[in-house]
Amino acid sequence: MSQAKKVTGIHVKGIGKYVPEMVATNEDFAKIVDTSDEWITQRTGIKTRHITNGEPTYYLGAKAAKAAIADAGISPEDIDLIITATVTPDFFTPSTACLIQREIGAVGSMAIDINCACTGFDYGIDMARRYLLAEDGVDTVLLIAAEELSKFTDYTDRSSCILFGDGSAAFVLERKKDTLYSSYLGADGTGAKFLVSRAMRSENAFRTNKEEFDMDMPATKAHYFTQDGKEVYKFATRTLPIAVEKACEKAGIAPEDLDAIVPHQANVRIIETAAKNLGVSMDKMVVYIDRYGNTSSASIPIAFCDAVAEGRIRRGDKVCLVGFGGGLTYAGIVFEY
């Protein structure tokens, strides 16, 4: 039996999620691209995904934030810092965190966006904990992951459009002394070209040089998302078990000591392979990809919220949130709920 290390970690005071009302089924996709419910279900595990009917990212984020604030029993003025993880902001500026702050009335808080793709919620927890650790005026953090992936989805590309959904989830975090906590975060920019959504190229008034400086990045249709599914699949199946193992090792526990593992929900086959490689049963893996598809940074906290609502994760449980995605990035966070 391993000995868990006690450190200053996080207390998850409240949680909340929000997904748009509109739902697209696999059959709906079969009407717009050459695909079938059978292919999507067998290759990905996805059955439905929620898609916005025009609601922007910050709107989804504010809805989840309000739910988490209510669950925590605090008022918006108690929040010292808002961190929003998103790869689908509505504006380059203002940040999504500032727009959410305005929506929820968290007067006086700091507000910052982070972009770590599907790993954003894990990176956000680690960042929140480091602010809390400093004991320098930040005592309550609102961490939100909000994604409207449908706005960068190419609905003519059957290999990617069937994967994505929209949604948001949020945690209210406080400092907790003498508790279980560890993080293992990493990035591998050599794999940057495998998951891409392009921003703007410079067309400034003085430009004469038409040479592109990102020759190793794929050509894309405007800002639409493109990925090398096979490369990402290999990366995910390799890094997911490593991130769990390393985070557990730092926390002084073994993966089998965890009550639940909440992985990024990209493909059920990736999760099944990771469970096998970790030697843990699929009962420990929290999987709701059938309902929501891949919602990037929001997928881990949305799955966490559903697991709590259904009693699969309870107070005091040892949990690992494990992500992988664009960047490439990977991360594991171990904590006690």
Q: Which residues bind ligand UT7 (CB under 6 A)?
A: 35, 39-40, 43-44, 118, 158-159, 162, 195, 227, 229-230, 232-233, 236, 266-267, 270, 294, 296, 325
Closer residue to ligand UT7, CB minimum distance, 9 or 124: 124
Contact 222, 154 (CB under 8 A): no
The token pair that represents 239 in the structure block? 């890094």
Distance CA 193, CA 266 (A): 18
Closer residue to ligand UT7, CB minimum distance, 39 or 259: 39
Least distance in angstroms from the C-beta of 236 to ligand UT7: 5
Long-range pairs for 22-29 at CB < 8 Å and ≥24 separation? 22/50, 22/51, 22/52, 22/53, 23/48, 23/49, 23/50, 23/51, 24/48, 24/49, 24/50, 24/51, 26/162, 29/158, 29/161, 29/162
Closer residue to ligand UT7, CB minimum distance, 4 or 331: 331
Closer residue to ligand UT7, CB minimum distance, 98 or 236: 236
**Of 98, 118, 248, 320, catalytic:** 118
Q: Which residue number places its CB atom closest to ligand UT7?
A: 229
> Angle, nearest 10°, between helix axes 96-104 and 57-72?
50
Q: What are phi and psi of 184, to 5 degrees?
A: -135, 105
Least distance in angstroms from the C-beta of 118 to ligand UT7: 4
Contact 264, 118 (CB under 8 A): yes
Least distance in angstroms from the C-beta of 149 to ligand UT7: 9
Least distance in angstroms from the C-beta of 260 to ligand UT7: 20
Catalytic site includes residue 116: no
Distance CA 110, CA 95 (A): 11
Catalytic site includes residue 294: yes
**Of 50, 116, 161, 264, catalytic:** 264
Least distance in angstroms from the C-beta of 117 to ligand UT7: 7
Catalytic site includes residue 118: yes
> Which residues are paired to 319 by β-bridges?
260, 335
Closer residue to ligand UT7, CB minimum distance, 79 or 270: 270
Closer residue to ligand UT7, CB minimum distance, 38 or 256: 38
Least distance in angstroms from the C-beta of 276 to ligand UT7: 16
Looking at the annotation, which residues are catalytic?
Answer: 118, 264, 294
